A and B are shown apart, each in its own frame.
Chain A
Amino acid sequence: MAKRSRKDTKLSSDPAQLQANFDAIRDPANAEYQAWRAPERPRIDVAIDTSSLANGAAATQTAIEALSSDRNAALDIGRNHGYGMQWLQPLVTITWPDGSSVIYGPVTEDDAAAIVDEATGRDGAASELAIGMLAGKRGDIPSIRDHPFFAEEPRERRLIARIGFTDPESMEHYIGSGGWSAMARVLYRGMEPAGVRQELIDGSHGGRGGGGFPAGVKWNFLAGAPDPEHYMICNADEGDPGAWVNRIVMEGDPHLLVEGMTLGGFATLSQRGFIYIREEYPLAVERVEQAIRQAEAAGLLGANILGGDFSYQLEVVKGAGSYVCGEETGLISSIQVQRGQPRIRPPFPAAVGVFMKPSNVSNVESCAHVPLLLQHGHEWYKEFGTDGMSGTRLYSFSGDIPYTGFMELPFGAPMKEVLAACGGISGGAELKAIQSGGPLGSLVPASSIDTLILENASFAPYDAIMGSGGIVWVSDRTHLVIINEFLSTFVEEESCGRCTTCHGGNQRMTEIFRRIMAGNGRREDAFNLKLIDDMLQQSNCVHGQFSPKPMRNLLQYFREDFDGLVVDRHDSTHTIPAMTQYRVANSRDPRVEDAVAICPADAFRGNAGFRTIDDAACIRCAACLEVAPGAVVREAKQLEPLPVA
């Protein structure tokens, strides 16, 4: 069957013709998608996303393909996106002709035979790998929705409803599952741009970038800008370490973002849009670019969309490893051929944005919710959430938990239950802090866990922010100052260099943390850090203004830990190198020679059987401890406490 292309689309401003033009795209897509969901013969979909690939999905796919080809097996091989349980990657889904689907994992290349056997009729061959039913019923496999990891998710997902159920690289799957119908309906029903924006306001749709500013109001600013040349920009420069929720949308359902950005273009009277994606997400860049090309070819993007009067051009700009480009004016600078340095606001982008023209910068998830909001209405959208923030949002969870992955949760989800869904703190350790909002975010104390819920207002009393969706659970196994030194180094390195307050202030903050970690803390350090905090807040952009926040939280809630390093100069976690020492506890243990061999610093002294560790040469990397546990031990090294003033 020849693919439809945009030249088949009849130009018209007649609503019936626009609708007919969309039906001509949708009907074959529906048929194609239905056939994919209930295939003629079993199909094995290997999850292909950044997480699955990091866990070996490419090798799994190759092994399944090779085996199925060797056996001439009566099955097909496809692709989807991982369902959220990243610790069980590589995930693989088998779909049978009756439309039932089972998710398996972790499926390594060695498990290829079990999966192919299962798909070709040897029921139970892969039962040990089965995680849950994605759709339908098959034996006594429980629904994936009953998995404890998803206990806090609504029974039905919304923003990520397609994940697992479509091939993210197929526009037909997107359209066949309801995609592009919101945009098409807006056009053939002759909805006004203001009506689209009002729907966002009625849904109390808050921006998902961290601030939570009402997206509809922000879009009104651009729509009302006097200069007629408008630009719609999507901020996909998701740079917070530990946050990857935008990546899930872009790799898992890229067409949703493209449709959301097209609705954004329509609603803000823009002629052109940019999606600025960070360089570290090559697969997201690939999939979003492909989705744009597919939409253009179908006549859903570009000149005269669906044959009507609305024209809109969308393109991807790939970043190059600069965190500060995630600040909206930095991002605008980066698009318009400059260093990605933020500038002072006002003027705000709605007045002076890219190419000095009115612009709007919206977060990935802010845009991706819009097609759903229009499709189902604002009442549906508000079914979840709190008084302050409506709807659901994506979160990524990592750190000292057994279950790393992502969830779509309603605003207001209780953190205690969320931690339980993540499997609790691993290895018998205790929760120490919650790192939310990335390097410009917070360190919320563990004592908050009983009352903390996932919405901005709940974090605010802690002088903290929830941020853009990345939550890192920090246990007491690692000294918290290690996290502070990391965050401080990050904001220092990523400062654009324009304001002395920011680049100089963050240098001083980093130096102080490193000096404290080296065992040379001074009594005035807390006072000086407070001065740095006050000064950084005078920076021109949020990068500088927010950069002292984790340090402030450290002094507010973890003063004992801070003083432990500065005053007592003692670290009971044995993770601060200067306050830790390694010692040969049993020099007759033969594994000590393995330790000698692995040591990258040649720190062992003496002959075999009489080994000791030279403390001055030892770099505390822990390699010897790993190869000779018990024979080499790690202990606290008590430094001379700070003299009394």
Chain B
Amino acid sequence: MPLETEARAELRELVTDFKPNDGKLMAALHRVQHRYGWISRESLEVIAEQLEMFPAHVYGAASFYDEYRLEPPANTTIRWCSGPACRLENANGIRDAMLATLGFDGLGERTDDGRVELVNGQCNGACEQAPLVWVEQPMEHSRRVVGKLTAASAIRMARAIRDGEAFEEGHETVF
């Protein structure tokens, strides 16, 4: 039995109402990520105990899904929409321009200071705003849609976010 720390007790409290064999793994992982912004190794262990599963099984499931973060999030995530309507509006050029601005070789990378990351996003049907990105502050549960981008406006946005300047454009949406 691992040492019971204050953090562990708090985690246990967070998932205490989930019963084993009741289809609650997704919900438990979501709740932990919502609270802490990511899912630590320790929380995987606590969830495993609560749901009477092996920690390896919980890790196996958690790592299968794109949206469970197994490391702390960056301050700002730029989520590039990869959908078809965006692709027809130079989304590939916008992606490459943001990668070059941030000094990345590909999606999923993070700046050296760890503050900004650029990830792949999935279409949710606000295609009238194509091409678009979502700018998210995971720890603040904040998400903005920045739409009708051009390569030039995407570069200005990525530079501002990279340089830590206030970036107020876009429209607030549900996180």
Contacts and interface: CB of A to CB of B under 8 A. Distances in A.
Contact of A623 (B84, B132, B152, B175): B152
A281 B60 contact: no
Given A472-B84, A598-B155, A623-B151, 4 more contacts: A54-B129, A54-B132, A341-B64, A483-B87
Nearest to B143: A282
Contact of A244 (B53, B57, B125): B125
A333 to B, nearest CB: 9
Contacts of B120: 493
Interface stretch (B5-13, B23-31, B110-118): B23-31
A319 B124 CA distance: 14
Contacts of B67: 279, 320-321
B127 interface: yes
B122 A396 contact: no
B129 to A, nearest CB: 5
A248 to B, nearest CB: 8
Interface stretch (A55-63, A110-118, A207-215, A301-309): A55-63
Interface stretch (A179-187, A374-382, A397-405, A530-538): A397-405
B96 interface: yes
18 contacts: A50-B173, A58-B171, A58-B172, A59-B171, A86-B128, A89-B128, A239-B122, A241-B123, A281-B124, A319-B26, A322-B66, A354-B23, A398-B84, A399-B85, A399-B127, A477-B88, A623-B93, A626-B150
B171 A53 contact: yes
Contact of A399 (B53, B84, B151): B84
B124 A247 contact: yes
A242 B155 contact: no
A327 B100 CA distance: 36
Contacts of A626: 150-152
Contacts of A620: 93, 96
B138 interface: no
Contacts of B101: 600
A320 B155 contact: no
Dominant secondary structure of chain A at its interface with chain B? mixed
A283 B127 CA distance: 17
A501 interface: no
A162 B132 CA distance: 29
Nearest to A490: B82
Given A241-B122, A337-B24, A355-B23, A472 B61 contact: no
B174 to A, nearest CB: 4
Given A50-B126, A59-B171, A398-B130, A619 B96 contact: yes
What 6 pairs across the A-B complex have the smallest Cβ distances? Answer: A244-B125, A320-B65, A54-B126, A321-B66, A321-B67, A398-B127
B60, B172, B173 — most chain A CB neighbours (10 Å) = B173
B128 A336 contact: no
Nearest to B124: A280
B137 to A, nearest CB: 15
Given A53-B173, A337-B24, A621 B100 contact: yes
A166 B171 CA distance: 24
Given A53-B173, A398-B84, A619-B97, A321 B122 contact: yes
B75 interface: no
A557 interface: no
Contacts of A482: 87, 92
A339 B61 contact: yes
Interface in A619-634: 619-623, 626-627
A469 to B, nearest CB: 11
A340 interface: yes
Interface residues of A, number: 72
A339 B87 contact: no
A337 B152 contact: no
A173 to B, nearest CB: 21
Interface of A: 50-51, 53-59, 86-87, 89, 239, 241-244, 247, 274, 279-283, 286, 317-323, 334-341, 354-355, 396, 398-400, 404-405, 435, 472, 474-475, 477-478, 482-483, 486, 490, 493, 496, 575, 577, 598, 600-601, 619-623, 626-627
Contacts of A54: 126, 128-129, 132, 145, 147, 171, 173
B86 to A, nearest CB: 9
B151 A51 contact: no
Nearest to A602: B100
B174 A50 contact: yes
Contacts of B82: 241, 486, 490
A319, A354, A600 — most chain B CB neighbours (10 Å) = A600
B51 interface: yes
Interface string B1-42: 000000000000000000001011111011000000000000
Nearest to B23: A335
Contacts of B23: 274, 317, 335-337, 354-355
Given A355-B21, A398-B85, A619-B96, A50 B128 contact: no
A411 to B, nearest CB: 22
Given A282-B174, A320-B66, A619-B97, A55 B84 contact: no
B44 interface: no
Nearest to B132: A54
Contacts of B25: 337-338
Given A317-B27, A337-B53, A600-B97, A478 B88 contact: yes
B93 A435 contact: no
Given A318-B30, A322-B65, A623 B85 contact: no
A643 B98 CA distance: 36
A399 B88 contact: yes
Nearest to A497: B64
A539 B26 CA distance: 27
Contacts of B60: 339
B83 interface: yes
A621 B152 CA distance: 9
B21 to A, nearest CB: 7
A486 B84 contact: yes
A81 to B, nearest CB: 13
A239, A338, A396 — most chain B CB neighbours (10 Å) = A338
A553 B142 CA distance: 41
Given A319-B26, A626-B150, A242 B84 contact: yes
Contacts of B87: 478, 482-483, 486
B64 A318 contact: no
Contact of A50 (B29, B96, B125, B172): B125
Interface string B148-175: 0011100110100000000000011111
B94 interface: yes
B26 A601 contact: no
Nearest to A405: B128
A421 B5 CA distance: 63
